Amino acid sequence: MKTYIVPVVWCCSANLEIEAESLEEAVIKADDIDMPSYEDWNYLDGSWEVDHESLEFFNSNEEQ
């Protein structure tokens, strides 16, 4: 049996507590922050899908 690489993508969300002088400043700071640790994320239901655009790239050496 062969092994294939099947890339998948999904969406997650998180809430960040950011100290700032205004909401606009907080948003700017949020754009520059490192990603939160995995345990702080929430999976968005229904967002799991195969990345068909990358599928061929990862398996291009396989005979069809």
Domain assignment present for residue 30? The answer is yes
Closest CA to 48 of 7, 4, 8: 8
Question: How many independent structural domains does the chain possess?
Answer: 1
Q: Which residues of the chain have pLDDT under 50?
A: 64
pLDDT score of 19: 96
Instruction: Give the pTM.
Output: 0.61
Tell me the C-alpha distance between 62 and 1, whole Å.
13
Domain assignment present for residue 1? The answer is no
Domain assignment present for residue 21? The answer is yes
Domain assignment present for residue 26? The answer is yes
Which tokens sit at 33? 């922050």
Domain assignment present for residue 2? The answer is no
Range of the domain at 17: 8-58
